[in-house]
Amino acid sequence: MTTSRPGLSVGPTSEFSLFFHVRPGHGPALREALRELQAAPGYRDGDYDLPIATIHEARFVPFDDDTRLLFATSFDGPWDSYMDDFASKPLKLFDAIFRHVEGYDGLPDLESVKKFILSAQVTAGGYSRNYGGTVKQIRKAERVNRAFQEVLDDPAAAEALQAPALAPLLAEAAD
């Protein structure tokens, strides 16, 4: 874990949490906006491809009787380096949600968006991960494993995997 920048990181990945105050009376509308987001491609049940390919997962959590909102995610890279990139495009995806929180005036210019984000960001008191690797590496690992399983399903695999160069694969083949 490093603490030299906002957000803790583990390996290449950093945590990113934003705490907002919901505008008075906007709780139900916020819930509705979250339901709509959850119905969008990438966020739907069963979908995995988030529009931002460098985040591992993301959640919006309304709390304190829907008067507060937490946005929490894990991001590949130091997120503060990508602030300008976020503020200029991806955040627009969340426009319908942020409209219900205080301090958000649409997206008039980059500087005010950055101020809005920075004022909501709180660095975690602890952060740990169960696996290393970026989203890209995990995706590659999934593809490789799928290919490996396909190989194992081939009746010729047992013999082919006897080649000495393939010993590390053979060691993974039994279960």
Partner 1 sequence: MDLDLDDIQAGALHERPSPYVGTYLLLRVNDRRDGRKLVRRLIPLLSPAGAGGAWLTVAFTYRGLEALGVPPESLAGFAPEFREGMAARAAILGDVGESGPENWEPPLGGPDVHIALATLAPDQASLDEAVAKARRAREEFPGVEVIWRQDCYQLPTGRTSFGFKDGIGQPAVEGLGEHPGETPIKAGEFILGYPDETGGQAPMPVPEVLGRNGTYVVFRKLHTRVAAYRRYLRDRAADRREEALLGAKMVGRWPSGAPLTLAPDGDDPSLGADPKRNNDFRYGDDLRGLKCPAGAHARRANPRDALDHEGAVDVRLHRMIRRGTSYGPPLPDGVLEDDGADRGIIFVFAGAHPRRQFEFVKTQWLNDGIFIGAPQESDPLVGRGGDFTVPRQPIRRRLRDLPPFVVTRGGEYCFAPSLSALRWIADLREMP
- Binding region for partner 1 (CB under 8 A): 11-12, 51-55, 76-78, 81-82, 84-85, 87-90, 109-111, 133-137, 139-140
- What number of H helices and E strands is found in the chain? 7, 4
d(CA 117, CA 6): 12
CA-based radius of gyration for the chain? 21
Which residue's CB is nearer to partner 1, number 27 or number 71? 71
Residue 52 CB, nearest approach to partner 1 (Å): 5
Residue 137 CB, nearest approach to partner 1 (Å): 5
Which residue's CB is nearer to partner 1, number 85 or number 95? 85
Which residue's CB is nearer to partner 1, number 29 or number 72? 72
d(CA 77, CA 7): 11
Residue 167 CB, nearest approach to partner 1 (Å): 17
Which residue's CB is nearer to partner 1, number 36 or number 85? 85
Residue 95 CB, nearest approach to partner 1 (Å): 15
Cα dist. 134→10, 58, 74, 99, 168 in Å?
Answer: 11, 15, 10, 31, 23
- The amino acid sitting at 84 is D
